[in-house]
Amino acid sequence: MRLLVCVLAALVLPVDAMAATYVVVIEQMRFDPPTLTVARGDRVVWINKDLFPHTATADANAFDSHDIAADASWNYEARETGRYAYSCKLHPTMHAVLNVR
């Protein structure tokens, strides 16, 4: 049993060690980049550089930042593969897509 746990841990650790962090800047009523592709396990950080709050809310409720205040950030770990269209609940004209592979 102990050998099996060690083997499984060795298989999992390299994947975790390779996780990356990506930044989406919210500025001028836009998400930049408007489309982002990441790997499962990667982290995405939304940074709000506008003077008022925004959200990053997936259309299918996969994630919801709630209000991100001006000069604040919110991060999300991409755990499930898929295509996630998202928008700002406070400003419905703001749209973007997060692709998780």
**pLDDT for the residue numbered 1:** 44
Q: What pLDDT is stored for residue 17 in this prediction?
A: 59
Q: Would you state the pLDDT for residue 70? A: 98
Which contacts qualify for 33-37: CB closer than 8 Å, 24 or more apart? 33/96, 34/95, 34/96, 34/97, 35/96, 35/97, 35/99, 36/96, 36/97, 36/98, 36/99, 37/99, 37/100, 37/101
Nearby residues of 45 by Cβ (< 8 Å), 6 or more positions away: 21, 22, 23, 24, 73, 74, 75
Query: What's the pTM?
Result: 0.82
* Per-residue confidence (pLDDT) for residue 18, from 0 to 100: 81
CATH of 20-100, one of 3.30.70.1560, 2.60.40.420, 1.10.1040.10, 3.40.190.100: 2.60.40.420
**Comparing C-alpha atoms, which of 59, 37, 61, 33 is closest to residue 47?**
33
What is the mean pLDDT, run by run of 10 residues, along the chain of 101 residues? 37 62 98 98 98 96 96 97 98 97 97
